[in-house]
């Protein structure tokens, strides 16, 4: 990314009180609702699997689901960066470029098919290497292989969602997510338990339902993207051609973003499958339950992450970096307040909710899940800072720093600490969660320093010739 002098934005008309909050709610609110519906979908996947009364199945779905998601980020990270490009072009008033960058993301989605084909034969050695019980590993492989079939749709949804978020229409992605997740929930019931003449597929049914729901969501977003109003304003149909300069820009900024996303999620995958997984199905089941509750709280903040990425991109496109900074700090305050409240509620009622929703037969599962949720209540405020400010940095195109910070702190500090506490000191799963808490707190300090330092304000995504006709053809 080419450093450019910061555009002065010292003189602004004063804003009415609450303007920043209203903008964040307007852009992030629909994304939060969409992410919340997605969280409910994943949560209900685990709840319904829990109703099978199988610790093996509950342990397997937690590990295999994060494995499937982690590896999909290698392709999805490229396409989701369209939010940054579209938002900045939208802020500059260049409507056709919004469609052009989105189409490059759509074309790059085909990389996910190559990734899925490469991963399929590797699934057996991958899960065998984790050392899980054979009965758990067999279920993990079944679930993972089916989820590979949905990689293209996940990547396509990321590219199209980037368009709608970048142009300030996140409600489109919200409605698509809600409808897709409703379909997933219905199919879960039919395919997991074999209702209305469908086969009882167990954990395979949950994976199949997820793939079908993602396909529906992708097709719905594409239909809206190509609708008449968007064809007229943005030229979404006529701008479909591959444009190599734009593809190179997406890869240049998107590669670090994809790798950062992969390293972040892979950190937790290793933490779950290779550290906690060694302590047996009971502790894996408790960990799955605790993470399921935790996802209820942090997924809405992921929505704020996506919203503030678009907001920061739009304000940078308008040449107002000071307002981009102010919006980011407002988003942090909202995220932290929400996470603290939810953390207290989940910690206080975690044991009761575990017994009611997951119905585990083993009281050890309930006891451990409750202790883990108390730890989660502590680190959630710091996680809110990480998630929100990383979205702001992403909106500015500061993806390379995020990649290096994630790699160094997660793999040089967080994972070794969790392994030392859980395995070396014999604290097992609870020790791994203590290590994760310390890692998240440390990462939040690093991200605060980066954002406060302002290096991201010097970044320019586009070359000096980016308005030339030659670049567009």
How would you write 284-352 as a 3-class SS string?
HHHHHHHHHHHHHHHHHHHHHHHHHHHHHHHHHHCCCHHHHHHHHHHHHHHHHHHHHHHHHHHHHHHHH
On whether residue 138 sits in a domain, the answer given is yes
* pLDDT tens figures, 49-105: 877 767 777 777 777 887 888 888 887 877 888 998 999 999 989 999 999 999 999
**Quick one: how far is CA 61 from the chain centroid?**
18
Q: How does residue 360 score in pLDDT terms, banded at 50, 70 and 90?
A: low
pLDDT value for 446: 95
In percent, the amount of the chain with pLDDT more than 70 equals 91
DSSP of 342-384: HHHHHHHHHHHHIIIII--S-HHHHHHHHHHHHHHHHHHHHHH
pLDDT value for 28: 81
Residues 6+ apart with CB under 8 A from 218: 153, 156, 157, 160
On whether residue 392 sits in a domain, the answer given is yes
Residues 6+ apart with CB under 8 A from 108: 75, 78, 79, 155, 159, 247, 250, 251, 254
Average pLDDT over all residues of the chain: 85
Range of the domain at 385: 19-460
- Cα(169)–Cα(314) distance, rounded to whole angstroms? 13
On whether residue 8 sits in a domain, the answer given is no
On whether residue 473 sits in a domain, the answer given is no
38 pLDDT more than 70: no
369 pLDDT more than 90: no
Report the SS3 class of residue 245.
Answer: helix
Q: How does residue 450 score in pLDDT terms, banded at 50, 70 and 90?
A: very high
| 13-22, 63-72, 194-203, 459-468: range with lowest mean pLDDT | 459-468
- Cα(458)–Cα(448) distance, rounded to whole angstroms? 17
Q: How many CB atoms lie within 10 A of CB 114?
A: 12
pLDDT value for 155: 92
Asked if residue 439 lies in contact with residue 417, where contact means CB atoms within 8 angstroms, the answer is: yes
Average pLDDT estimate for 28-32? 78
pLDDT value for 61: 79
DSSP of 195-235: -TT----THHHHHHHHHHHHHHHHHHHHHHHTSHHHHHHH-
Task: Between 229 and 36, name the one with better pLDDT.
Answer: 229
Q: Shortest CA distance to 336 belongs to which of 297, 375, 296, 280?
A: 297
- Cα(31)–Cα(438) distance, rounded to whole angstroms? 29
On whether residue 71 sits in a domain, the answer given is yes
Q: How many CB atoms lie within 10 A of CB 285?
A: 29
What is the sign, positive or negative, of the torsion defined by CA atoms of 162, 163, 165, 166? positive
What is the sign, positive or negative, of the torsion defined by CA atoms of 221, 334, 456, 255? negative
* pLDDT tens figures, 130-181: 777 888 888 889 999 999 999 999 999 999 999 999 998 989 988 998 898 8
pLDDT value for 48: 80
**What is the token pair recorded at 13?**
């008309």
Average pLDDT estimate for 301-309? 87
pLDDT value for 12: 55
- Cα(56)–Cα(134) distance, rounded to whole angstroms? 10
On whether residue 294 sits in a domain, the answer given is yes
Report the SS3 class of residue 238.
Answer: coil
pTM for this prediction: 0.76
Asked if residue 257 lies in contact with residue 79, where contact means CB atoms within 8 angstroms, the answer is: no
Q: How does residue 8 score in pLDDT terms, banded at 50, 70 and 90?
A: very low
DSSP of 34-58: HHHHHHHHHHHHHHHHHTT--HHHH
472 pLDDT more than 70: no
Q: How does residue 39 score in pLDDT terms, banded at 50, 70 and 90?
A: low
pLDDT value for 467: 42
- Cα(307)–Cα(388) distance, rounded to whole angstroms? 9
Q: How many CB atoms lie within 10 A of CB 100?
A: 23
Structure letter (DSSP) for residue 426: S
On whether residue 315 sits in a domain, the answer given is yes
On whether residue 465 sits in a domain, the answer given is no
Q: How does residue 463 score in pLDDT terms, banded at 50, 70 and 90?
A: low
How many CA atoms within 13 Å lie on the side-chain side of 95?
9
* pLDDT tens figures, 232-290: 999 999 999 999 999 999 988 888 888 888 888 888 878 877 888 788 888 878 887 88
* Range picked from 30-34, 84-88, 301-305 for highest mean pLDDT: 84-88
- Cα(43)–Cα(37) distance, rounded to whole angstroms? 10
The Cα angle at residue 178 between residues 173 and 179, in degrees rounded to 5: 100
| 48-52, 111-115, 446-450: range with lowest mean pLDDT | 48-52
**What is the token pair recorded at 342?**
């939810």
The count of structural domains within the chain is 1
In percent, the amount of the chain with pLDDT more than 90 equals 38
* pLDDT tens figures, 379-420: 888 999 999 999 999 888 898 899 899 899 999 999 999 999
Name beta bridge partners: 3: 459
Q: How far is CA 287 from CA 61, 205, 277, 355, 417, in A?
A: 11, 22, 9, 14, 18
- Cα(182)–Cα(56) distance, rounded to whole angstroms? 26
């Amino acid at each position: 990314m080419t450093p450019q002098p910061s555009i002065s934005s010292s003189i602004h008309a004063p804003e009415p009180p609450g303007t920043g909050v209203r903008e964040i709610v307007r852009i992030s609110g629909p994304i939060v609702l969409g992410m919340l519906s997605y969280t409910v979908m994943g949560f209900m996947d685990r709840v319904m699997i829990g109703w099978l009364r199988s610790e093996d199945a509950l342990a397997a779905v937690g590990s295999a689901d994060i494995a499937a998601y982690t590896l999909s980020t290698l392709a999805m990270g490229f396409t989701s960066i369209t939010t940054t490009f579209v938002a900045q072009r939208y802020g500059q008033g260049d409507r056709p470029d919004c469609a052009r960058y989105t189409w490059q993301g759509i074309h790059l989605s085909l990389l996910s098919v190559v990734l899925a084909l490469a991963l399929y034969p590797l699934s057996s050695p991958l899960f065998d290497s984790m050392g899980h019980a054979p009965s758990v590993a067999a279920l993990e492989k079944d679930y993972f292989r089916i989820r590979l079939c949905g990689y293209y749709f996940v990547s396509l949804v990321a590219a199209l969602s980037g368009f709608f978020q970048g142009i300030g229409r996140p409600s489109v992605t919200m409605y698509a997510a809600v409808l897709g997740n409703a379909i997933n929930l219905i199919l879960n019931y039919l395919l997991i338990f074999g209702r209305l003449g469908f086969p009882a597929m167990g954990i395979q049914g949950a994976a199949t339902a997820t793939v079908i729901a993602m396909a529906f969501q992708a097709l719905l977003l594409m239909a809206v993207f190509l609708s008449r109003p968007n064809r007229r304003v943005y030229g979404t149909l006529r701008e479909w051609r591959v444009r190599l300069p734009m593809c190179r820009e997406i890869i240049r900024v998107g590669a670090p973003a994809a790798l950062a996303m992969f390293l972040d999620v892979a950190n937790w995958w290793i933490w779950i499958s290779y550290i906690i997984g060694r302590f047996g199905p009971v502790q894996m089941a408790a960990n799955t339950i605790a993470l399921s509750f935790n996802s209820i709280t942090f997924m809405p903040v992921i929505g704020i992450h996506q919203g503030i990425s678009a907001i920061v991109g739009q304000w940078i496109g308008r040449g107002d970096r000071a307002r981009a900074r102010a919006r980011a700090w407002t988003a942090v305050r909202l995220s932290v307040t929400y996470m603290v409240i939810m953390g207290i509620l989940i910690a206080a009622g975690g044991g009761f909710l575990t017994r009611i929703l997951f119905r585990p037969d083993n009281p050890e599962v309930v006891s451990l899940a409750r202790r883990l949720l108390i730890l989660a209540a502590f680190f959630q405020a710091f996680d809110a800072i990480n998630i929100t400010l990383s979205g702001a940095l992403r909106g500015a195109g500061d993806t390379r720093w995020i990649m290096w910070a994630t790699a160094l702190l997660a793999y040089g500090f967080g994972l070794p600490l969790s392994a030392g506490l859980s395995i070396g000191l014999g604290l097992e799963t609870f020790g791994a969660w203590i290590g994760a808490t310390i890692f998240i707190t440390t990462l939040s300090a690093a991200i605060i320093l980066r954002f406060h330092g302002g290096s991201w304000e010097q970044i320019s995504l586009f070359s000096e010739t980016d308005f030339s006709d030659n670049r567009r053809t």
